[in-house]
Amino acid sequence: MNPELRDLARDAERAAERGDPSAAIAGFLDAGSRAAGYQLWRAAARYFRNALELDLLEREPVVRLAGLAARLGNELDWKHYLRVLDDAPAWPRVGCRGARILTHDTGSIVECPGAGPVLELLMTASDLVEVAPDGRFAHMPLAMALVILRRALWPVPREVASPLRVRVAFAGRSPVWLDERGEWSDA
């Protein structure tokens, strides 16, 4: 990894850890822009997603991800995310850094700090998770759901050649493969 990008990402991570989401978002956006300048498209997308994880309604990371999406094969997902943000949903500001899966006799949910339940989960096969947005988030786009779910499944992704992955069916759509780095592709 480029030392400059590593340092920028580390500084952004430190800002997040000390409770300064604005500085962290700005740092991740800077790291992503510089990675894109080096044509490191996947790294750029990862930094932009890191910014988005701090505030899922922050428009700038979604704009930048939509700009990269044609190179990564998920352009429609990010454009849909932008349209949802343009419709100004009455959702609480929410980050998914502390997303966790809670399981009970009545089912499983993904909960985000400060927002409560955001996704309902059902595991219908050993490698398939069916996900639906919680009622308050009825118009949640696929990309948002995958960003949240990735954080809930893999709070600390490993840097390995073959990341773990799972098929995810969101709100009745055809499944996609989601990996622990936060990248997805058609299943």
The answer to whether position 92 is within a domain reads no
**Domain end position, chosen among 86, 118, 149:** 86
Query: pTM, whole model, 2 decimals?
Result: 0.94
Share of the chain above pLDDT 90, in %: 75
Q: What is the DSSP letter of 112?
A: E
pLDDT one-digit tens code per residue, 117-140: 999 999 888 889 999 999 889 899
pLDDT tens figures, 14-68: 999 999 999 999 999 999 999 999 999 999 999 999 999 999 999 999 999 999 9
Beta bridge partners of 129: 123, 168
User: In this predicted structure, what is the pLDDT of residue 158?
Assistant: 81
Q: Do the domain assignments include residue 93?
A: no
146 neighbors 170 (Cβ within 8 angstroms): yes
Q: Which residues contact 118 (CB under 8 A, 6 or more apart)?
A: 94, 96, 99, 109, 110, 111, 112, 133, 134, 136, 137, 140, 148
What per-residue confidence (pLDDT) applies to 48? 97
**What is the domain range of residue 14?**
3-86
The CATH code of the domain that includes 67 is: 1.25.40.10
Note whether 152 and 175 are same-domain residues.
yes
